[in-house]
Structure 1
Amino acid sequence: MLPKINQMLFLHVATPDEEEAGKEYKARIADWNDEFILMETPIHEQSGRMKKLFLGDELSFYYITETGVKHYFGSHVLGFQQDAIPLVKIRTPDTDRITKVQRRNFLRVPAELEIAVKLPDHEQFVAVTDDVGGGGISFLCESKWQLHPGQLLVCWLLLNYKNGTIEHAPFAAEIVRIVEVAAARKQVMIKFVSINDYERQKIIRYCFERQFDFRNR
C-alpha cells in the first residue's frame, strides 16, 4: 500500500554522523506517481528546523495508515522542484519493498550476526544470532552464562548491509525461552522491551535485504 497525497512521511537521513542519523524528520507528500514522490522540505519536529537535502541522499522512511500500521521503505533524493513551496523529489518505492509492520507480524529471517550482551550483574559476552526480526531475535551462546526466562538484557546488534555499511542497533530485551542445543551451547530467544523506532528500522531494513536475497535464490 503506497502512501497518499497529504500523508505525513517520517524519515531519517543515512549519514556517518550518529547524532544526525538519530534525528527524525517529517514531511508531507505533495504529489506522487509511479516514478517519484514529491514531498515538502523535511522538518525536525522538536526544533522546528528544516533539513536541507542533497541529490543522492539515502533516506529511510515510514508512514502510518489510518489503522495504525507502520509501513517502512527506503529511497533516495532524485532532485528538487520549485512550486508554491520548495519540494524534494524521491524515488517511489516498489510495493514489494514496503514493509508492513504490526506488533504481532514482524518479519523474521535467519541471520548470523554478532551481538554483544550485557547481563544485570554487568558481565558481558559476545554471541551469534540464529535469526533476527523486528520484534526480537534469537542467539546462540555458551551454556556457562547464567541466563533464565524473564531476565532483562542490554544488547548491541551489529548489522552488515549489502552496500557495505555497518550499523549498531542498541536495545533492551527480555529472555522468552532458552533451549539447550549442544553440550555446551544454548539458544536464547529474546523479545525487545525497549527499542526506539530508528533502531528498529535498522533491523527491519536488514531483514528485508535478507528476504530479498532468499527470494532470488
Structure 2
Amino acid sequence: MLPKINQLLYIQVATSDETEAAIEYKTRIADETEGELYIEIPVREGTSRYKRLYLGDELSAYYLSSEGVKHYFNSHVLGFKEDVVRLVRIRKPELESITKIQRRNFLRVGAELEMAVQFSGLRFIVITDDVGGGGVSFLSDGKRPIQEGQEMECWLLLNFRNGSIDHAQYKAEVVRMKKLETGRVQVMCKFIAISENERQKIIRYCFERQFELRK
C-alpha cells in the first residue's frame, strides 16, 4: 500500500555524521501528485526542533499501516512548495520499492574519486572522501580559499563496474568544514543545482560501491 495524504511519516536524513543520521523526525503528508509527495517540515521526535531539508537530501522513511506494520521506502528532496505553510516535495515511492525491512541505501559511501572544482576564477582537482545522491565531501590541504557557504561548479569522475567512465556535473555549496588531526580539512558539500539524470549517475555508482564493500 502507498502512503496517503494525512499519513504520518518518520524519516532519517542521509549525512556522513553518524549521530545526525540516526535521528528520527516526524512529518505529515499534506498533498500528493502522480510522482511526488508534499510533506510538512519535519520535527524531531519528542522536541519542537524543526529539521531544515535541502534540495537533493536523501531520506529513509517509514509509515505505519492500520495494523501497525512499518512500511519502509527511500526517497529524496525534489524541491519546495509555498502554500499556507512551506511544504517539502519528495519523490513518491514505487509500490514495489516499499518493504517491511529498512534498506538505507541512501547513505553516502566512502569513495576516492577525482573531482574538478571551479569558483572565483580558480580551477583545481580534489579527491572525494564520500559521495551520495545529495552531496559529496572531499579533502583539502587547507591552502585553498574555501569557506562555508562557498558555491562551486563541480565535475565528478565516475568509474563503473562494467569498465565505463562517466562524469556528473553539478553545482554544490560548502555546508561544513572540519579540520582533521592530519592538518587537512574535510569539506562537506550539498548539491544545489543538479539534473535528475546526473543525480542518477551518482546514485548508480553508490549502489555499485556498496555492493563492492559488502563483498
TM-score, normalised to structure 2's length?
A: 0.53
Kept after mapping to 2: 8 A contact 1:112/1:131: yes
Structure 1 CA distance for aligned equivalents of residues 110 and 203 of structure 2: 13
How far is the alpha carbon of 1:184 from its aligned partner? 4.7
Structure 2 CA distance for aligned equivalents of residues 171 and 125 of structure 1: 15
What is the aligned residue count? 125
Structure 2 CA distance for aligned equivalents of residues 154 and 182 of structure 1: 28
Structure 2 CA distance for aligned equivalents of residues 183 and 114 of structure 1: 21
Structure 2 CA distance for aligned equivalents of residues 174 and 127 of structure 1: 15
How far is the alpha carbon of 1:126 from its aligned partner? 0.6
Structure 1 CA distance for aligned equivalents of residues 37 and 188 of structure 2: 29
Which residues of structure 2 form unaligned runs of 5+? 2-33, 39-72, 78-89, 91-103
Q: Which residue of 2 aligns with 1:116?
A: 116
- Judged with a 3 Å threshold, the aligned counterparts in structure 2 of structure 1 residues 182 and 125 are, in CA distance, closer, same or farther, namely farther
Following superposition of structure 1 onto structure 2, how do residues 1-217 of structure 1 map, counting pairs within 5 Å? Answer: 65=35, 67=37, 100-103=74-77, 106-119=106-119, 121-182=120-181, 184-216=183-215
Which residues of structure 1 form unaligned runs of 5+? 2-63, 69-98
How far is the alpha carbon of 1:214 from its aligned partner? 2.0
How far is the alpha carbon of 1:114 from its aligned partner? 0.4
- Judged with a 3 Å threshold, the aligned counterparts in structure 2 of structure 1 residues 185 and 212 are, in CA distance, closer, same or farther, namely same
Structure 2 CA distance for aligned equivalents of residues 170 and 66 of structure 1: 24
Instruction: Kindly provide the amino acid, as one letter, of the partner of residue 117 in structure 2.
Output: V
Structure 2 CA distance for aligned equivalents of residues 161 and 117 of structure 1: 21
Residue-by-residue CA offset, 1:13-39 (whole Å, 9 max, x unaligned) = xxxxxxxxxxxxxxxxxxxxxxxxxxx
Structure 1 CA distance for aligned equivalents of residues 155 and 206 of structure 2: 16
Instruction: Kindly provide the amino acid, as one letter, of the partner of residue 172 in structure 1.
Output: K
Please state whether the residue corresponding to 1:102 is helix, strand or coil. Answer: strand
Structure 1 CA distance for aligned equivalents of residues 153 and 118 of structure 2: 5
How far is the alpha carbon of 1:142 from its aligned partner? 1.6
% same residue: 52
Structure 1 CA distance for aligned equivalents of residues 163 and 173 of structure 2: 30
Please, what is the CA RMSD of the aligned residues? 2.6
Residue-by-residue CA offset, 1:94-145 (whole Å, 9 max, x unaligned) = xxxxx943239843111000011112x2111111000000000100122110
How far is the alpha carbon of 1:66 from its aligned partner? 6.0
- Judged with a 3 Å threshold, the aligned counterparts in structure 2 of structure 1 residues 184 and 122 are, in CA distance, closer, same or farther, namely farther
- Judged with a 3 Å threshold, the aligned counterparts in structure 2 of structure 1 residues 211 and 183 are, in CA distance, closer, same or farther, namely closer
- Judged with a 3 Å threshold, the aligned counterparts in structure 2 of structure 1 residues 123 and 102 are, in CA distance, closer, same or farther, namely same
Structure 1 CA distance for aligned equivalents of residues 184 and 36 of structure 2: 45
Bigger radius of gyration: 1
Structure 1 CA distance for aligned equivalents of residues 112 and 179 of structure 2: 18
Q: Which residue of 1 aligns with 2:85?
A: none
How far is the alpha carbon of 1:180 from its aligned partner? 1.4
Residue-by-residue CA offset, 1:156-212 (whole Å, 9 max, x unaligned) = 000000111000111001000011125552110000000000100000000000111
